[in-house]
Structure 1
Amino acid sequence: MRDRDHFDVIIIGGSYAGLSAGMSLGRALRNVLIIDSGKPCNLQTPHSHNFITQDGKTPKEISTLAKQQVGKYDTVRFYNGLATAGTKTASGFQITTDTKNIFTAKKLIFATGIKDIMPDIAGFAACWGISVIHCPYCHGYEVKHEKTGILANGNVAFHYAQLIRNWTNDLTIFTNGKSTLTQEETEKIRKHHIEIVEKEISSINHQNGYMEEIIFADQSTFGLKAIYSRPSFEQHCGIPEQLGCELNEQGLIKVDMFQRTTVEGVFACGDNASPLRAVANAVSAGNIAGSMVNNGMTEQAFK
């Protein structure tokens, strides 16, 4: 192992959380490697919102500027590739990439995000992040007062109905099959003049990701400007579990308020460890993770 392949910290994932952690550590004079494969989950989202000073910028604009700023710290290095395996060593951790490069570090930060699992609805993936959206704080203002749908069932549909009604009164719930809403939830929803449609959806008709209507299995249609949905997901990277990091009931990496996982020396931040999927939240979590990693290392060195 060459000295230049050993680092104080390896950050896996070089999007908003990872770059934020890298900035904290670069400013703390730590030797850092950021490994990133260049495939963020919001790649096709046209604009990012609700992030002060960056409102309306494209995700690519924000991450490009962030990488330029982090790159000014000469103790931070970037590696374009995919981390595929991780092991615990006597002095820290070893990370192997898809091209068989091996790097070691005293500490690890996973900012690897999650992988959305698209439902079997033609056009859904093409509209995801554009007109099929998940967060009203990120995208709701742009479709305020528009004809809007909720693609969800049960408690998720009820929560969305409560929330999205703040942005539009022209709201319809699509359960994509038999409703699992309770009678009490159903009564409350109908009290607010929100229709519940139980037909199965076969496809979304759209133009370049901007939806025009949904098409049901019976070939009937329903015109919409946007639809909220929360698809299932899985961890984008399996290395934290390889190392023994616990996941919570939602399938997110379990962390404490300082972004520490259940494995000593391993931290996680961003979408892989938080249900709050927003750029601003990822940046905040990365900042905390980087600061806490450095804080722990200074305490260990001061014994």
Structure 2
Amino acid sequence: MDVDVVVIGAGPAGLAASLNLARAHRRVALLDSNRPRHAATLVSHGFLSRDGISPLELRTLGRDEVLAYPTVTYERTIVHSISPVPGGFVTVAKRPGSDEQTEVHSPAVLIATGLTEALPLPSMVRAWYGTSLHSCMDCDGYDKRGKPLALIGETDDLAERALVIRRHTDDLVVFTNGVGDVSADDEARLAALGIPVERAPIAAIEGDREGMQAVVLDDGRRSTRTAGFVRPQWHASIGFADLLGLERDADGLVVVDGSQRTSVAGIYAAGDITPGFRQLAVAAGEGTIASSVINRDLIAAGR
């Protein structure tokens, strides 16, 4: 199959790009594994005109809008490789559970796959993830306002995140699970704001059908917490692009310029796979920018 642009990922970035490329009369192959990172999240916030919509519904509405354009094809598939070939790239993908292989040739490829995440204490957190516990402070902080909240993480940026969460509550406890790194200076700063840091390992997260109720520490202490936030560790799972030699930052994210161009001509990236804020509106905006730039770059190349 030959198209103008391959778009990998049908989240907000990929869908926004596909929509605007279609409106520029571009032939688009939209490839998506249908494994969104926020599959456990019940509602999304901060997206103008869609505040409170479920992520699944948002993706479905966006996909339906995009596929109304005859120049867009959609395939639920897993991309295995992108290779440079004369005149552009060949993208190879396979459908889940099948050996059937698809090869798509295009002069441009947009990577909008998002990230995968590893939760701290997954066996404990997963039961509450998307309901009582969330990862996005900007998205879900408002709805947890005034509650006794927890921040659970094992990284070195917990103090910064705690300061953001404090905008929503005066009752916040930071839990490092014996792993997270909060410096003495940061701990003193948080203490001055009434935010304690608990460094003991977590033994359990208690709750019932009504939701989370408490964090129980390994030493037996019990902290009443009815909601909160976790700090996942995010990973850029784009081994399929290894042959391209894309420039990536220390976190493995794809480095782009202000126009969503990567270090390889003809390859673009948008959304969570690039450095920056991880919000729906930001991802959609980057996808829109990418579509305009891709269209102009193709025109400049005589396509």
Aligned partners of 1:250 and 1:176: how far apart in 2? 22
Residue in 2 that maps onto 1:222? 223
Cα distance change of structure 1 residues 171 and 6 upon mapping to structure 2, 3 Å threshold: same
Aligned partners of 1:126 and 1:181: how far apart in 2? 26
Specify which of 8, 31, 34 is matched with residue 12 of structure 1: 8
Shift of 1:214: 2.2
| 2:183 is aligned with 1:182 | yes
Q: Conserved in 2, the CA contact under 8 Å of 1:246 and 1:262? A: yes
Q: Conserved in 2, the CA contact under 8 Å of 1:92 and 1:104? A: yes
SS at match of 1:190: helix
SS at match of 2:22: helix
Deviations 1:106-135 (A, max 9, x none): 100011011101234422123333322222
TM-score normalised by length of structure 2: 0.92
Instruction: Read off the aligned partner of 2:85 and give its amino acid letter.
Output: T
Q: Conserved in 1, the CA contact under 8 Å of 2:144 and 2:228? A: no
Cα distance change of structure 1 residues 281 and 210 upon mapping to structure 2, 3 Å threshold: farther
Cα distance change of structure 1 residues 88 and 134 upon mapping to structure 2, 3 Å threshold: same
Instruction: Read off the aligned partner of 2:44 and give its amino acid letter.
Output: S
Specify which of 50, 53, 58 is matched with residue 54 of structure 2: 58
Residue in 2 that maps onto 1:272? 273
* Ranges in structure 2 where 5+ consecutive residues have no aligned partner: 95-99
Aligned partners of 1:145 and 1:237: how far apart in 2? 39
Shift of 1:154: 6.5
Two-structure CA RMSD over aligned residues (Å):
1.9
Identity %: 29
Shift of 1:136: 2.1
* Ranges in structure 1 where 5+ consecutive residues have no aligned partner: none
Q: Conserved in 2, the CA contact under 8 Å of 1:153 and 1:181? A: no
Q: Conserved in 1, the CA contact under 8 Å of 2:120 and 2:153? A: no
Higher mean C-alpha deviation, range 213-222 or range 250-259: 213-222
Residue in 2 that maps onto 1:79? 75
Higher mean C-alpha deviation, range 178-187 or range 112-121: 178-187
Aligned partners of 2:89 and 2:102: how far apart in 1? 14
Q: Conserved in 2, the CA contact under 8 Å of 1:133 and 1:229? A: yes
Aligned partners of 1:63 and 1:169: how far apart in 2? 35
Shift of 1:207: 4.4
Residue in 2 that maps onto 1:293? 294
Displacement over 6 Å in runs of 4+: none
Shift of 1:202: 3.1
SS at match of 1:44: coil
